[in-house]
Amino acid sequence: MRITLVHPTGSNWIDGKKDMAAVANRMAPLGMLSLSAYLKRDGHRVFLHDGLGPDAPPGVEENVNAVLRSEPEIVGFSTTTSSFLDGCDMALRIKEANPRIITVFGGVHVSAIGAALMADYPSIDYLSIGEGEATLSELAAGVEPAGIDGLVWRAGEEIVTNPPRKPLPDLDQLPFPDYEGLRGFPRRYNLPLFSYIGTPGATMTTSRGCPYQCSYCDRSVFQRSFRYNSPAYIYAHMGHLRRRFGVRHINIYDDLFTLNRGRINELCELLIAKPLGLRFNCAVRVGHADDGLLKMLRKAGCLMVSVGIESADPALLERHKSGVGLEDVQDTVARIKACGLRVKGLFMMGLPGETEESIGKTSDFIMSLGLDDMNMSKFTPFPGAPIWSSMNEEGVFHEDWRLMNCLNFVFVPKAIESRERLDYLYNRHVKRFYSDPVWRRTFGRRIWQHRWSLLHLLRHLPAFLGAKKAFEPDSKTA
């Protein structure tokens, strides 16, 4: 069967500002690539359309025309919350052009809300809930909808939700993602600026699920199980990226890459014994990063590790990310640096219960850590997160799916006077971090290592200068 998989554009920047997120960090859509590889292995002909890709046209109509040119029998949309409505706009126009085309929607937003979406969006024929590889493959193979676990479908006027699909028990049985099918990969996809010292770069995941349950995290697709690829599979995957595409740096986007210590020991031993000629970044969790592990990661080629910290307010941590203490954070960051690794702190502003005082504490704490980089996301409630049901009691929530991308404040906690004030506090902090003389001296010493990022920045300088203005604090809200 001819299948076209679509990664809709969605909104990926700040409301009212030019969308340049893909210029700063264009990631390969790994979920869609995994689906494609699985379907191709089952004998289907698959075409990929990345709405955020380097050759994607602007506008819904142009993207729809690109999809129709592939003459699909099925169009599958892999959507986030912010891209779901763009996907629906495309599906509507695809149905108008050819009602026989089957439309299937999957992804985290779909898995969190489920059958209710079918009633509101008649251009959707099927929903794939949870992991989609086997579900979509069975549908494409002609299995009757009633017999496909994980599927939501229409039986006349009735909307039927089938039993949930069991998670794939062995992730090593999955083929490598279909990087070959992605136009422009890897040269025209790029990792976050200054996070790498070799190019081209790529991204990968080596596990699914997470046993923890932070208040803000949506686990609708992979649930709270934790499954992972074997060290041999990961090493082979890395080698495939190196040999087939010339990749020199990989960002591993697992939530809990180092949770299974034995797995990481074996992987690092492979990378040390038989180097692949590439570097990688990964994340560690506070409490799962002893010195032996950190030294081994560095020897295996790790350049930078990320640490999820979120806030420096103990009450907020206890409520939203229990098990992480500030002293433990300080100790973990210091040991990462002592082992010769770079460290990136991950934070979140605007959580329920946030105050100007807690924002100030967090900003001061960040400055005290001596981080090599940091990411401050804007808290965004998602339908599958534990905190979702109480959002309207916690502050002012503007449920605009297109803006729910962690780049806009759609929620304002009770103690903050306005969204404009929250934006001001956010921008002031970002400017403070990157204006810090200590950080700038460290960056200056690495200027040659960052030459590829600087070259990319120069190629897109007008866009970056325009984006820089978005982080200038508005004096009227000071």
Question: What pLDDT, in 10s, does the model give residues 261-271?
Answer: 999 999 999 99
Q: Name 379's Cβ contacts closer than 8 Å, sequence gap at least 6.
A: 216, 348, 349, 350, 351, 352, 354, 406, 409, 411
How is residue 148 written in tokens? 């496909």
Q: Name 117's Cβ contacts closer than 8 Å, sequence gap at least 6.
A: 105, 110, 124, 127
| Residues of the chain above pLDDT 90, percent | 80
Say whether pLDDT at 92 is over 70. yes
Distance in angstroms (rounded) separating the CA atoms of residues 206 and 47: 24
Q: Work out the pLDDT band at 9, boundaries 50, 70, 90.
A: confident
Q: Please give the average per-residue pLDDT across 169-180, as a whole number.
A: 96
Q: Got the DSSP string for 222-256?
A: TTT--EE--HHHHHHHHHHHHHHH---EEEE--TT
Q: Got the DSSP string for 91-144?
A: HHHHHHH-TTSEEEEESHHHHHHTTHHHHH-TT--EEE-S--HHHHHHHHTT--
How is residue 368 written in tokens? 């005290």
Q: Tokens 């697992």 correspond to what residue?
A: 254
Q: Which of 78-82, 95-99, 175-179, 383-387 has the lowest mean pLDDT?
A: 383-387
Res 434: pLDDT: 95
Q: Work out the pLDDT band at 13, boundaries 50, 70, 90.
A: low
Sign of dihedral through CA atoms 370, 371, 373, 377?
Answer: negative
Model confidence, pTM: 0.93
Residue 101 identity (one-letter amino acid):
I
Q: Which of 61-65, 219-223, 227-231, 299-303 has the lowest mean pLDDT?
A: 219-223
Say whether pLDDT at 471 is over 60. no
Distance in angstroms (rounded) separating the CA atoms of residues 83 and 51: 10
* Domains in the chain: ranges and CATH: 2-161 (3.40.50.280), 191-477 (3.20.20.70)
Say whether pLDDT at 473 is over 80. no
Q: Please give the average per-residue pLDDT across 76-98, as a whole number.
A: 96
For 28-43, what is each residue's pLDDT tens digit? 999 999 999 999 999 9
Q: Name 127's Cβ contacts closer than 8 Å, sequence gap at least 6.
A: 104, 105, 106, 110, 114, 115, 117, 118, 151, 152, 153
Res 334: pLDDT: 95
How is residue 317 written in tokens? 């941590």
Res 70: pLDDT: 96
Distance in angstroms (rounded) separating the CA atoms of residues 301 and 268: 9
Q: Got the DSSP string for 275-342?
A: --S-EEEEEE-TTS--HHHHHHHHHHTEEEEEEEEE-S-HHHHHHHSTT--HHHHHHHHHHHHHTT-E
Q: Please give the average per-residue pLDDT across 92-113, as a whole number.
A: 96
Q: What value does the mean pLDDT of the chain take?
A: 92
Highest mean pLDDT among 137-141, 256-260, 400-404: 137-141
Cross-strand pairs, 5: 48, 76
Res 211: pLDDT: 75
Q: Is 468 helix (H, G, I), strand (E, B) or coil?
A: helix
Say whether pLDDT at 469 is over 70. no
Say whether pLDDT at 472 is over 80. no
Better-predicted residue by pLDDT, 297 or 215:
297
Distances (CA, A) of 374 to 194, 280, 307, 342, 457: 11, 17, 9, 11, 18
Res 49: pLDDT: 97
Q: Work out the pLDDT band at 312, boundaries 50, 70, 90.
A: very high
Res 14: pLDDT: 60
Helix and strand numbers, DSSP H then E, in the chain: 18, 17
Say whether pLDDT at 321 is over 80. yes
Q: Work out the pLDDT band at 177, boundaries 50, 70, 90.
A: very high
User: Which of 311, 309, 198 has its CA nearest to residue 251?
Assistant: 198
How is residue 456 written in tokens? 């990319």
Cross-strand pairs, 104: 76, 126
Q: Which of 86-95, 111-120, 316-325 has the lowest mean pLDDT?
A: 316-325
Say whether pLDDT at 405 is over 70. yes
Distance in angstroms (rounded) separating the CA atoms of residues 55 and 366: 38
Q: Work out the pLDDT band at 217, boundaries 50, 70, 90.
A: confident
| Residues of the chain above pLDDT 70, percent | 93
Q: Please give the average per-residue pLDDT across 11-39, as a whole number.
A: 79
Q: φ, ψ for residue 8 (rounded to 5)?
A: -65, 155
Distance in angstroms (rounded) separating the CA atoms of residues 266 and 232: 8
Distance in angstroms (rounded) separating the CA atoms of residues 108 and 186: 25
Contact 311, 317 (CB under 8 A): yes
Judged by phi (left if over 0) then psi (alpha if -120 to 50, else beta), residue 350 lies in left
Res 221: pLDDT: 66
Q: Name 374's Cβ contacts closer than 8 Å, sequence gap at least 6.
A: 344, 345, 346, 347, 366, 433
Res 459: pLDDT: 85
CB atoms within 10 A of CB 440: 11
Distance in angstroms (rounded) separating the CA atoms of residues 227 and 224: 10
Res 377: pLDDT: 95
For 410-445, what is each residue's pLDDT tens digit? 999 999 999 999 999 999 999 999 999 999 999 999
Res 475: pLDDT: 53
Better-predicted residue by pLDDT, 155 or 478:
155
User: Which of 116, 36, 123, 31 has its CA nearest to residue 80?
Assistant: 31
Say whether pLDDT at 225 is over 90. no
Q: Which of 18-32, 326-340, 361-375 has the lowest mean pLDDT?
A: 18-32
The H-or-E segment that residue 463 falls in is helix 461-468
Distances (CA, A) of 88 to 8, 9, 79: 9, 11, 10
Entry field: residues in the chain: 478
Q: Which of 47-51, 197-201, 464-468 has the lowest mean pLDDT?
A: 464-468
Which string of b and e fits 43-65 if b means at least 16 CB within 10 Å? ebebbbbbbbbbebeeebeebbe
Distance in angstroms (rounded) separating the CA atoms of residues 340 and 298: 7
User: Which of 250, 236, 216 has its CA nearest to residue 385?
Assistant: 216
